[in-house]
Amino acid sequence: MTEREKMLAGEVYDACDPELLEDLNRVKVLCQQYNNLLPTDFAARNKMIREILGQADEDTFINQPFYCDYGKHIRVGKRFFANFGFTVLDEAYVTIGNDCFLGPGVHIYCACHSTDPRERKTRQEWAKPVSIGNDVWIGGNVTILPGVTIGDNCTIGAGSVVTHDIPANSIAAGNPARVIKTI
């Protein structure tokens, strides 16, 4: 398997693989170009975000600045909106449903690193996908950790750290986020 195939399969891979580093740098340039577009140039912004992401539509709207690692592993549904400072470490697939709205400073992390400092020095890591259902509202400064699934019709309170799955039709908040209400 290539390092990319290992990465997407959730296996340990070499994060310093030349092919992966080339893709990371290519997307950094695209994100910089996107972030430097005039905020009022909606057509150019939408065209470029669809070039960066693996799936997006003509109604996808991401306020600048936006940062991601690979871009093509991010799939957003219809009428997706993310506010300022959306950051995605998409070493695994990130799938976001239709009619999802993200507040400012939302971060989604797929990359995993060893807690053993000797192992971390090897630059070996692995990744777990993140899935967010339809009609989800994620408040500002929420962090979603690797391997999390958030069900349909959820609200995640501002400042939460989502460390485990949140079932559909839930309101969750806190650090770690926990369900505080079912709708």
Model pLDDT, residue 34? 98
Q: What is the DSSP string of 69-83?
A: SSSTTEEE-TT-EE-
Domain 3-182 has CATH 3.20.20.140: no
Q: From residue 38, give the alpha-carbon distance in Å to each of 33, 44, 176.
A: 10, 9, 37
Model pLDDT, residue 174? 98
Which conformational region is residue 47 in: left (phi greater than 0), alpha (psi within -120 to 50 degrees), or beta?
A: alpha
97-106 mean pLDDT: 98
Q: Rounded to an integer, what distance in angstroms lies between the CA atom of residue 148 and that of residue 130?
A: 5
Give the strand pairing for 177-182 and 170-174.
antiparallel
79-106 mean pLDDT: 98
SS3 call for 93:
coil
Model pLDDT, residue 19? 97
Average pLDDT, the chain: 97
102-108 mean pLDDT: 98
64-88 mean pLDDT: 98
Model pLDDT, residue 32? 98
User: Is 107 a known active-site residue?
Assistant: no
Distance of CA 2 to the CA centre of its chain: 23
Side-chain-side CA neighbours of residue 165 (13 Å): 10
Q: Which of 70-84, 111-125, 147-161, 169-183 has the lowest mean pLDDT?
A: 111-125
User: pLDDT exceeding 70 applies to what percent of the chain?
Assistant: 100
Q: Per residue in 69-107, is it b (16+ CB within 10 Å) or e — as a string? A: bbbbbbbbbeebbbbebbbbbbbbbbbbbbbbbbbebbb
Which pLDDT band holds residue 175 (cuts at 50, 70, 90)? very high
Question: Are 163 and 148 spatial neighbours (Cβ–Cβ below 8 Å)?
Answer: yes
Instruction: Please pick, among 73, 107, 113, 164, the residue that the annotation labels catalytic.
Output: 113
Task: Convert the pLDDT of each residue in 11-52 to its tens digit.
Answer: 999 999 999 999 999 999 999 999 999 999 999 999 999 999
Output the pTM of the full model. Answer: 0.96
Task: Convert the pLDDT of each residue in 116-134 to its tens digit.
Answer: 999 988 989 999 999 999 9
Calculate ∠ Cα 67-72-76, nearest 5°.
80
- Indicate the residue type of 121: K
